[in-house]
């Protein structure tokens, strides 16, 4: 078992089957030592988390949705790289939060994914980030997170 897989087990996390793209794109592109991970949606127990923060999704559910996006990012990276031990550093996460006009806690929601990366990769999981409120996301998702990750050669 790899070091990162051991860490996932310690955290009680099992990576799901990577989600198939919902449109004309690929889940991960590796170029110039960086893996660019397309936006991932939050699936919890196989069900997409939908709704809008500040309306019908509470803060805790939003944080859990962002963490689920982070888990799917890890699943996509493992599928693309063969091993999460190839991750050198999480460079940047972009979090998009389906939120009402008066909702301003997007950074707290994004912490669900950010804290997961640090829990899994330690110092190498610390990253730059954006957390943006949007009026709608694909399929009505509550949160979407994308990533840029520095990778070691195979």
35-83 pLDDT, tens digit per residue, is 999 999 999 999 999 999 999 999 999 999 999 999 999 999 999 999 9
What six digits make up the tokens of 56?
């019908």
Helix ranges, 11-150 (H): 59-81, 106-121
- CATH number attached to the domain at 25-151: 3.30.1330.40
Q: Which of 104, 112, 102 is nearest to 143 (CA)?
A: 112
> What pTM does this model have?
0.97
At residue 22, the pLDDT reads 85
15-31 pLDDT, tens digit per residue, is 999 999 989 999 999 99
- How far apart, in whole angstroms, are the C-alpha atoms of residue 8 and residue 150? 19
Domain ranges of the chain: 25-151
- How far apart, in whole angstroms, are the C-alpha atoms of residue 93 and residue 110? 9
């Amino acid at each position: 078992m790899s070091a990162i897989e051991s860490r996932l087990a310690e955290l009680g996390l099992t990576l799901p089957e990577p989600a198939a793209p919902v449109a004309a794109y690929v889940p991960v592109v590796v170029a110039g030592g960086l893996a660019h991970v397309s936006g991932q949606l939050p699936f919890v127990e196989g069900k997409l988390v939908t709704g809008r923060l500040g309306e019908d999704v509470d803060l805790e559910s939003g944080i859990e949705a962002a963490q689920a996006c982070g888990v799917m990012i890890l699943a996509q990276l493992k599928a693309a790289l063969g091993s999460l031990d190839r991750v050198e550093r999480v460079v940047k996460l972009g979090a998009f939060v389906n939120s009402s006009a008066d909702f301003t806690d997007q950074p707290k929601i994004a912490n669900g994914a950010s804290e997961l990366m640090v829990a899994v990769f330690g110092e190498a999981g610390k990253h730059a980030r954006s957390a943006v409120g949007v009026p709608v996301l694909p399929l009505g998702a509550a949160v979407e997170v994308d990533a840029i990750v520095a990778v070691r050669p195979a």
